[in-house]
Amino acid sequence: MSYVAVDIGATNIRVACGDESGLKRKLQEETDQANGAEGVPQQIIRMIRGVEGDPVAIGVGSIGPIDHSRGMITNTPNYPFKEIQVTEPLRAAFEAPVEIMNDCSAGVLGEHVFGAGGETDNLFYVTMSTGLGGGAIVDGHLLAGKDGNAVEIGHLTINPYSSVICGCGCPGHWEAFSGGKNIPYYARSLLQGTRWRSSLLNDLCGGDPQGITAKMIFDAARQNDEHALMVVEEIGKVNAVGFADIVNAYDPELITVGGSIALNNPDLILAPIERYIARHVINRVPEIMITPIGEDVVLYGAIALALDMS
């Protein structure tokens, strides 16, 4: 018998069993969106059976927004369903305690219990992936908020007058510039009027600016393409504002960074933040590092949540 962790992401669901010593068996599948809102918990139940038939407790870290008291995902822009029940179907299937938390809250908890954050009670975790998110432990308390959606840093306003519109509809949110899904839009606005047509970036997208992806930009930047480097630098300036806002608001001792964009491009993401953050902070700048527990940070947090329930 062991504990079970579930990570519900924008495109994938990951499940693992584990205990105080860490994660054991892991499974990953693309989220089933073909069988309605009920298909998602059914898929999770089947995946849990694949790693542990008799869980002691189940912790879930999920994309938001969540409704913590009702144990569900509500109005997420990532799925075509309005509400997805999570905790009740799992509780019924396994007769075990189940708790859900926002994936970035799970991330900071995982970092605190299993990762780099064990030494401090003032810790912040940033994920830079399809979107941006954050989790905070302040004075030893995990910040949750009334529904479990505190610290939605991706939707901090960087520039209220910007023509760059966030997926949520608001102008100039941080995620609208630096979220993996939005980087191509921001990049196209930056490239307009430049001589980027003679660049490696132009070759990578086959001459079609609509085909530009975040990966192409970072790949070209790694090969010193000057236009891609310019885009990465501008994204970094925006990120420096966001990180400065975190430092000013939460005063963390350590910020760890995860998510596919950061994990795949650690230097291109961190270096500009370190270059520009001093312009925007009043508080002492803490150490900023890539999370040592990589893509498993949410699963580690979900295991820590499950351990806490028993």
Q: In whole angstroms, give the CA distance from residue 12 to residue 307.
A: 24
Residues 6+ apart with CB under 8 A from 126: 104, 132, 133, 134, 153, 243, 246, 255, 256, 257, 258, 259, 262
User: What's the closest the beta carbon of residue 239 comes to Zn ion, in angstroms?
Assistant: 15
Pick between residue 177 and residue 218 the one whose CB is nearest to Zn ion. 177
User: Which one, 176 or 293, has the nearer CB to Zn ion?
Assistant: 176
For tokens 């480097």, the residue is 229
Question: What's the min distance (Å) between Cβ of 48 and Zn ion?
Answer: 33
Total residues interacting with Zn ion, rule: CB under 5 A? 5
CB-based contact 58:96 (threshold 8 Å): yes
Binding of Zn ion at residue 173 (CB under 5 A)?
yes
Q: Which residue's CB is nearer to Zn ion, number 84 or number 153?
A: 153
Does position 306 interact with Zn ion (CB under 5 A)? The reply is: no
Alpha-carbon span 84 to 65, nearest angstrom: 11
Rounded to a whole number of angstroms, the minimum distance from the CB of residue 41 to Zn ion is: 27
The contact pattern for Zn ion, residues 266-295, with x = CB under 5 A and - = no contact, is: ------------------------------
Q: Shortest Cβ contact with Zn ion: which residue?
A: 166
Residue nearer to Zn ion on the CB measure, 173 or 237: 173
Site string for Zn ion, 133-172 (x = CB under 5 A): ----------------------x----------x-x-x--
- CA gap 97, 114 in Å, rounded: 22
Binding site for Zn ion (CB under 5 A): 155, 166, 168, 170, 173
